[in-house]
Amino acid sequence: MAIELLCRKVGMTRIFTETGTCIPVTVLEAGPNVVLQKKTEDKEGYTAVQLGFQDRRRSTLSKGALGHFDKAGVGPKRYVHECRVSPEELDGHEVGGEIKADIFEAGQMIDAIGTSRGRGTMGVVKRHNFKIKKKTHGTHEGYRNPGAIGAGSYPGKVFKGQGMFGRMGGDKHTSRNLEVVQVDLEQNLVLVKGAIAGHPGGLVTIRPAVSPK
């Protein structure tokens, strides 16, 4: 149980070490996250903190939602996320306080949770890496078709899990054990080694690695 920081994916770039090694990194704008609510064992039955990220207009929210933000003494937030924490960590955060990128450090292993890019309806070649048929004698127009998907008389059905065309992307994806290469406290940025699911500007949640290598 640890803080799961809400971030905005800025994009990808690369940095060079002192030895000249090139490292591809994903740049994340890590907050600041605002503590909206603290949930305790006595009242809610578990300990957690509710975080808010990115400002939004008051006119887009109902009176009930605005009351929740006003009670915390902060402006309306676009994203609201709750994460379980230990009672000791709960005492270290106050309602209305900010949580920034300084909770992470270079060399730390983290998990990154994002939503993959939505590709819409895709065929089997792009969606399941099917092989394109040879454009030679005997092959007709269906070069990218999946071919036969079921048997004849027996078993007379299409097996569950058969790769077919359909909606691709737009799914929740967790990348585990990514290394934090650099933390920029002035601009509140976290540079993570490798790629993270999602489009530039999308929401990404990072946390200390659950099962670090």
CATH of the domain at 169: 2.40.30.10
Nearest of 37, 38, 14, 36 to residue 26 by alpha carbon: 14
**Is 65 part of any domain?**
yes
93 and 39, same structural domain?
yes
The domain boundary residue, chosen from 59, 82, 99: 99
Phi, psi of 162 (to 5 degrees): -60, 130
One domain, residues 121 and 205:
yes
User: Other C-beta atoms within 10 Å of 29: how many?
Assistant: 20
Q: Are 126 and 119 in contact (CB under 8 A)?
A: yes
pTM above 0.75, yes or no: yes
Let me know whether 119 and 61 are in one domain.
no
**How far apart are the C-alpha atoms of 191 and 182, rounded to whole Å?**
5
Do residues 74 and 170 both lie within one domain?
no
- Regarding whether 174 and 119 lie in a shared domain, the answer is yes
The count of structural domains within the chain is 2
Give the C-alpha separation, 92 to 88, whole Å. 7
Give the pLDDT of residue 89: 84
The residue among 49, 54, 45, 43 whose CA lies nearest residue 9 is: 54
Q: What is the pLDDT of residue 1?
A: 66
What sign has the CA pseudo-torsion 176, 182, 183, 184? negative
Regarding whether 107 and 95 lie in a shared domain, the answer is: no
Please give the residue range of the domain that contains residue 41: 32-99
Average confidence (pLDDT) over 138-159: 85
User: Is the same domain home to 11 and 61?
Assistant: no
* Same domain flag for 21 and 1: yes
pLDDT digits (tens, 9 = 90+) for 35-57: 999 998 889 899 999 999 999 99
What gap in Å lies between CA 146 and CA 51, rounded to an integer?
A: 46
Sequence length of the chain is 213
Cα separation, 80 vs 56, in Å, equals 12
Of 156, 147, 104, 140, the C-alpha closest to 124 is 147
Residue 213: pLDDT over 90: no
The values of phi and psi at residue 169, to 5°, are: 85, -175
Chain-wide mean pLDDT for the chain? 91
Residue of 175, 177, 23, 21 whose CA lies nearest to 108: 177
